Amino acid sequence: MTIGDDVFFASVRELGRLLGTRAVSSVELTTAYLDRLESVGPKLGALVTLTRELALAQAKQADQERAAGKVRGPLHGIPYGAKDLLATRGIPTSWGAEPFKDQVFDFDATAIERLRAAGAVLVGKLAMVELAGGMGYNNPDASFTGPGRSPWNTDHWSGGSSSGSGAATAAGLVGFSIGSETSGSILTPASFCGLSAVRPTYGLVSRHGAMALCWTLDKLGPLCRTADDCGLVLQAIAGADPKDPTTEGRFAWTRPAAGRRFRIGVLKNATARAQPEVRASFEASLEVLRGLATLEMDVEFPDFPWGPAVGLIVDAEGGAAFREFIESGGTRRLRAQSDRYGGYVSLMTLAVDYLEAMRARVPMRAALDALLGRYDALVCPTRGAVAPPIGYDFDKPPVPVPRPPEGTPSAPATIPAGNLAGVPAVCVPNGFGANGLPTSLQLIGRAFSEATLLAIADRYQQATDWHTRRPSIRPGAD
């Protein structure tokens, strides 16, 4: 068969059906994705290393196993990309930073091992913000491969720090990808690129072999076209790992039949400071959700300093993780100007402040868990704005941002709160805003409630078609 956009933008489940019916072989599929990734990936700042030789060997093995009647599961023979902070044996793992671009490990990260065991085919290592943003970057141009660009409009950012994972998956360069999140780095690129994604419960997915930025916050998760895809990928990588003592739990995904009615809390002031198009998409989403859930409006989110607490913990743990690199002056070789000195600020974090933040996590987590226990999910926009343009510092927007009327409440700090508490979130695309850029819907639940969140997201996607839209990879202005 001819491999075109209908295949490149197909879901994981559909790709598996094509492989299962022998409409296409894994070698054919992999070759097509490799060529597309090699051609388009650099234009989006999405590709670090193309793994052609490894990918074709894995694809050939997948075809041979299928021919022999051995099917490893729904990912068998499907090409994917991995954020370049996951160790891959004999292949450079750059952490997005020029000083580490030739770094090679002699082992695979557990997530890579598990995907290989599931029969998935690694076609490339995908770009990321240098050191996962741990040095405090302040500009989209913060990777030695350049800024990640949204395939919906390449003048705009694909989001950080899993910038390449977001751009490559949205552009149909890979079947799915793996990203990481410490304080928004899965949800943000998924939101800006119009993808479905899961930030899993802390400890559900092993981080062995992943660059450590923040030991008590880091998580790995899938970025995909559909919520159903996310369930299939998460099932392959989740579960306890003796190489990562923080891991626990298991996850199994079976696409649920329609019927169950959910209970969802709609957060108060969720769109108070959101862009008008984000607000409009969210309100339209609530109408869809009313068809499958009972909604309770104006739910109060626990009022704690979520953002400052996460920032302090990232500074302290990131400074410890990269202390030798910072003290040796290695940060002077980083791309983003603020990254060249941000690490020194991290080293100045007081131990007493870090300990206070860690102590405060106990009541903060308890308050959020008590709220989440009342619902199957809380719902709000994933981000209050669409993808910003490339080429400016985050604290210096290119045009003045209109100030909301005095007294306008702040939106709930759901992304830092979810990361601080270690609870899962699922996001899905729910519309489009200015410049043809996607908007996104976020569902948050109690620890290890991924199956419920994905069930809600899957039902939402059965009633909408936002996840089926394809970017034309519009070039920005020269």
Catalytic site residues? 83, 161, 185
C-alpha 416/C-alpha 56 separation (Å) is: 40
What are 312's two structure tokens? 């302090």
> Which one-letter DSSP state was computed for residue 333?
G
**Count helices and strands in the chain by DSSP H and E runs:** 15, 13
Whether residue 158 is preceded by a cis peptide bond, meaning omega within 30 degrees of 0, is: no
Residue with tokens 């090679």: 104
Give the chain's end-to-end CA distance (angstroms, integer).
36
Q: Phi and psi of 430, rounded to 5°? A: -140, 20
Residue with tokens 């070789």: 333
C-alpha 159/C-alpha 189 separation (Å) is: 4
CB atoms within 10 A of CB 103: 14
3-class DSSP assignment, residue 155:
strand
Angle 393-160-424 (CA atoms, 0-180°, nearest 5)? Answer: 135
C-alpha 130/C-alpha 120 separation (Å) is: 26
Q: What is the dihedral of CA 194, 200, 205, 211, to 10 degrees?
A: 60
What is the layout of strands, in order, in the sheet containing 262-267?
47-50, 121-126, 79-83, 177-181, 219-224, 196-199, 425-432, 438-444, 377-381, 262-267, 293-299
